[in-house]
Amino acid sequence: MAANQSAIEVNDLRKSYGGLDAVRGIDFRVRQGEIYGLLGPNGAGKTSTVEILEGYRRRTSGEVRVLGFDPNDRPRELRARVGIVLQNSGIYNHVKVAEVVAHFAHFYPHPRDVDEVIELAGLGEKRDERARHLSGGQRRRLDLALALIGDPELIFLDEPTTGFDPAARRSAWQTIRSLRDLGKTVLLTTHYLDEAQELADRVAIIKGGRILAEGSPAELGVGGGSRYRIAYANGNGEPIVVQTDNPTSVLHELTTAAIARGEQLRSLSVTRPSLEDVYLELTADA
């Protein structure tokens, strides 16, 4: 596949369950080798979208291509080239970590080395442990190992760190970054802003089954409709806040006027909106 081709293409995707419209016409492209984040609150339509791409659900309408295939047909070749970490999926209670990873390796035409994948997932010390003795975080790591054993080009991660403690999240993030270093494409869904900001090359903010904004976390921070915020205290010490799209000229006017009056602009600050501000603004209930 050519390097400039999209790993995932979604055009006007819609999904209804009975009378409920979970996905209401979304478009996006995921480039080869990038980490793309679908960020949104619970019930935004993230999992519906991802499960359509994974071949678990049928779309109501729209066009979808995953590595050039229609996931609706569930072609075996596609399943051999993607790795899926579901939001929650169990495993046999009595199976040992290395055993189940080795077993799954047989499903694939060109699997990776079992021990290498167990190390990559951070389960090296637990390789002979039974699945039922693993902690929640370790089970999540086993999910990741099972998704990676087939050496997939594209990896779906649905809420990969939900329920993790901060240290476990940091280490999971490191593992996910290492996937990008291996040249993998990752579609990540999350309701954690910091996770999207840390990991994703590009983010789509999704709510109510629609994409509200899309771009790199940095781009979204400035271009997402929010403005620069300039705060200072005037001559009487009263706090003043100015919102603007053009901070340069506003600052120029403010400072020129203050110098002319011989005043100080005390407590002056200029803040650039973070992804968080954009997210909260976009996803706030009207």
Name the site residues for other proteins (rule: CB under 8 A): 54-56, 76-77, 79-80, 82, 84, 86, 88-95, 99, 103-104, 106-109, 146, 150
Residue type, 10: V
Considering beta carbons, is residue 45 or 150 the nearer one to other proteins?
150
Element containing residue 7 per DSSP (H, E): strand 6-17
* Nearest approach, Cβ of residue 177 and other proteins (Å): 23
Please check whether residue 63 is in contact with residue 56, taking contact to mean a CB–CB distance below 8 angstroms. no
**b/e map 210-237, b = 16+ CB within 10 Å:** bbbbbbebeebbeebebebbbebeeeee
Number of H helices, E strands in the chain: 10, 12
The CB-of-62 to other proteins minimum distance in angstroms stands at 21
Least distance to other proteins from the beta carbon of 39, Å?
23
Q: How many CB atoms lie within 10 A of CB 179?
A: 21
Residue 141 or residue 202: which is nearer to other proteins going by CB? 141
- We find the least distance from the C-beta atom of residue 95 to other proteins, in angstroms, to be 6
CB of 36 to other proteins, least distance (A): 19
- Closer residue to other proteins in complex, CB, 94/252: 94
Query: Which lies closer to other proteins via its Cβ, residue 108 or residue 173?
Result: 108
Contacts of 71 (CB under 8 A, 6+ apart): 52, 53, 54, 55, 64, 78
Q: What is the DSSP letter of 237?
A: S
Nearest residue (CB) to other proteins, 102 versus 242 = 102
